[in-house]
A = this chain, B = another copy of it.
Amino acid sequence: MIKVAVLGYGTVGSGVVEVIESNNAEVSVKAGEEMHVKYILDLRDFPGDPYEDRVIHDFNVILNDAEVSVVCEVMGGVGAAYQFTRQLLEAGKSVCTSNKELVAKHGAELLEIARNKKCSYMFEASVGGGIPVIRPITKALTAERIEKITAILNGTTNYILSKMEKEAADYGDTLKKAQELGYAERNPEADVEGYDACRKVAILSSLMMGKNVDSEKIYTEGISKISAADFEYAKAAGMTIKLLATSEALEDGSVLAMVAPAFVSGEHPLAVVNDVFNGVFVRGNMLGDVMFYGRGAGKLPTASAVVSDVIDCARHIGRSSIICIWDREEAKLADVAESRKRFFVRAKASAGEKAAEIFQGCSFVDAGRTEDIGFFTEEMSEKSFEEKSSAFGEALLSRIRLA
């Protein structure tokens, strides 16, 4: 029998217990032994809950119980969660988590401890919710040199952008509706400013590079400046706008990572990743492009991913199941200013002549609007674009990169 403890009885924690109980036949067969949740650690009590007898308040009960071999850390944060995870791994207990903040910040160190202690630190649920992303990248694409990742990693912003497109609505109104429906938090900053996607792409980048990619050094831009007018131009050009998290392994050994809204061709598979769904596009040197698509959040999908990690750990008791490389050495981040791409520009109608002059070779998009103009530049460095576009001054209404 595999005895499991769950740290944190919130949304994901209760989902983990539900998946292990509801799918117990499937889970136990796959784990090779019956699986049982022995403890649920939480500060609160849950009178009336079907599992109230398993709720405890003292972490040390779990740490010191030799029967518990796998622990799910689904409490979040980088304080107690970090201390608990360290102690558990040091004690040789495997830890499975959905805590992207902790993984992004201390993943390399926690993986090292797990390896040394012949147990596992697993985090499938930290990126893409229920979509298998971490495991395919680390355990399936093993014959590949991964060259580039292009992904929609945040369900809230994708929901907002999808609605803006469908309903020709502005950002502010759409955010408000999303908050009313529970798709966006009351304090939506972590989502809409791209911080959540940034942590996730830091994790994927670290796995791609085999070195630590510091999320705080990744250039990050949110969606709050995107307007209904931008979508009109995107539509006229057969495109859409998505918040993309991208990461590319450059030939000089550095990594070019960023989070920013981008114009995406309507024919690109990421263009149909709508609403709260996520999509992760991976380019391998042998394989070409593969994409993983599904629900990027939600109680049961996320819990299902945590439990798939628990099963993996259960099959590797006494040895580490970790196959990924993620050293503590810091990866070198490439300078975004030097990276080259095309840009979409929306400017006041009066700036039309200036546009053709400054951005020679640019192509105008006819969206049937008179208030403003929109055009695509030729490919240039970000730095060069900033220099040129500064000539527009206040006439510049928006600029969005092309994917």
Q: Which residues of A contact B (CB under 8 A)?
A: 19-20, 22-23, 26-27, 29-31, 124, 130-132, 135-136, 139-145, 267-269, 271-274, 284-295, 298, 300-301, 303-305, 307-308, 310-312, 315, 323, 325
Contacts and interface: CB of A to CB of B under 8 A. Distances in A.
B291 A291 contact: yes
Given A268-B272, A272-B272, 20 more contacts: A19-B286, A23-B285, A23-B286, A26-B144, A130-B288, A131-B290, A132-B136, A135-B136, A139-B312, A143-B308, A144-B304, A269-B273, A286-B300, A286-B304, A287-B301, A287-B304, A289-B294, A290-B293, A291-B291, A291-B294
Contacts of A291: 291-294
A19 B288 contact: no
Nearest to A311: B142
A189 to B, nearest CB: 27
Contacts of A315: 323
Contact of A30 (B142, B268, B301, B312): B142
Contacts of A287: 130, 294-295, 300-301, 304
B304 A284 contact: yes
Contacts of A29: 325
Contact of A304 (B143, B293, B295): B143
A140 B290 CA distance: 16
A124 B143 CA distance: 12
A19 B143 CA distance: 7
Contacts of A30: 142-143, 323
A296 to B, nearest CB: 11
A145 B26 contact: yes
A310 B143 CA distance: 9
Contact of A143 (B271, B272, B307): B307
9 contacts: A23-B285, A132-B141, A141-B304, A143-B307, A143-B311, A144-B304, A286-B301, A290-B292, A290-B294
A140 B301 contact: no
A286 B267 contact: no
A49 B16 CA distance: 54
Q: Which of A136, A143, A286, A323 has the most CB of B within 10 A?
A: A143
A395 to B, nearest CB: 36
Contacts of A300: 286-287
A271 B292 CA distance: 15
A26 B308 contact: no
Contacts of A136: 132, 135-136, 140, 292
